[in-house]
Amino acid sequence: MSPPALQFEDVCFAYNGAPVLEGVSFSLPAGALLGVLGPNGAGKTTLARLAMGRLTPTSGRVLVAGRDPRKAAGRIGYVPQFMTLTQGFPVKVVDLVALGALPAGLAGWLKGGDAAGRRRRALEALEAVELADLADRPVAELSGGQRQRVLIARALVGDPELLILDEPTANIDPAGKSCIVDLLDGLAERRTVVLISHDLTVTVPHITAVAAVNRRVLFRPEPRLDQEMLELIYGLHRHDCPMDSFIHHLVERQPTLGRRHGDSAGA
C-alpha cells in the first residue's frame, strides 16, 4: 500500500515564539484534490512551506510520500501567489518556465546542460496550460491571468506528484479566474493537488477534501464544509448578525464544494 501523498502528524509551528499553527494532523491520499480555506494570516502559506520542507516544524513531523519533504523536493511543484518582475526585465515565457526543470534554479541554468531538452519540457508544460503560442513572448507583456498560468507551467516542468498552489486566483479578473479554475481541475487528474485560498467562491469541480485553517486545522476527507469549519474560519457569533445567516446558508443550502450540476450528493 502506497503512503499518503501528504501527512501532518501533530505539527506545531511558531515564529519567534508566537504560535502560527498548533496540533495539525491530517493524511491526504495520493490523487486527492485538497481545498485549503482560511482568512488572510491564518497560517495557510506556513502550512504550504512546511509541506515543501522550506520550514521545519517546531514539533511533530511532515511527510511527503512517506519521506521528509526536503528529501522529496523533486516530487513537489509549487505555485506562489505573486510573480514580481523588474519593469522591462527581458525574460521570455519559455525561459522562465524552463527554470522549473532545474533544482538549482538560475544557478543551474548558467551552468549550461541540456538546453534543448529544457526548452522541449517547457513547451510541453506551456501546452498543458494552453500558452504554447506565447512561448517566445516577454513575460512582462502578459496579463495577470497569463502570468499565473506561466507559474503553473513552471511548477509542472518537473512532472511533480504533489502540486501546491498558493492563492492562484488572487488579483485576477473573473474571466481569468474561471480559466485558472478549469485548468486546475484538469491538472488534478494526474497528481495530488493542494489548492490554498481565502475565497470560498473559488472551488474546483472535483475537489475531494477540504481543510479549514485558522491556527488550527480541521480536515475533512470529503468536499464538504461543516459548521465547525466555518466557525473556525469566520469566528463563532452568539448574536444575530448577517454573518450568521451567511454561514447558515453555506451549510444548509450549499453542503458540498465543487460538485457539478446534476452530481449526486454524499461523500
- pLDDT tens-digit series, residues 175-227: 777 777 778 777 777 899 999 988 766 667 778 999 999 999 999 999 888 98
Task: Say what the pLDDT of residue 195 is.
Answer: 92
CATH at residue 102? 3.40.50.300
| Domain membership flag for residue 231 | yes
| Domain membership flag for residue 265 | no
| Domain membership flag for residue 266 | no
Task: Say what the pLDDT of residue 100 is.
Answer: 84
- Which of 62, 125, 78, 138 has its CA nearest to residue 98? 125
| Domain membership flag for residue 258 | no
> How many structural domains are present in the chain?
1
| Domain membership flag for residue 13 | yes
CA-only gyration radius of the chain, Å: 19
Q: What is the pTM of this model?
A: 0.81
Q: In Å, how far are 87, 154, 194, 221 from 185, measured between CA atoms?
A: 32, 17, 12, 18
CA separation for the pair 21, 43 (Å, rounded): 6
Q: What nine digits make up the cell of 221?
A: 476527507
Q: Which residues of the chain have pLDDT under 70?
A: 82-89, 102-113, 200-203, 236-267
37 within 8 A of 212, measured Cβ to Cβ: yes
SS3 267: coil
| Domain membership flag for residue 21 | yes
Q: At what angle do helices 242-253 and 227-234 cross, to 10 degrees?
A: 150
Task: Say what the pLDDT of residue 260 is.
Answer: 41
Q: 102-106: which pairs have CB atoms within 8 A and are 24 or more residues apart?
A: 103/73, 103/74
CB burial readout 46-62, b (16+ within 10 A) else e = bbbbbbbbebebeebeb
| Domain membership flag for residue 267 | no
Structural domain boundaries, residue 19:
6-253
Task: Say what the pLDDT of residue 259 is.
Answer: 47
| Domain membership flag for residue 153 | yes
CA separation for the pair 54, 43 (Å, rounded): 14
Task: Say what the pLDDT of residue 228 is.
Answer: 93
Task: Say what the pLDDT of residue 168 is.
Answer: 83
250 within 8 A of 230, measured Cβ to Cβ: yes
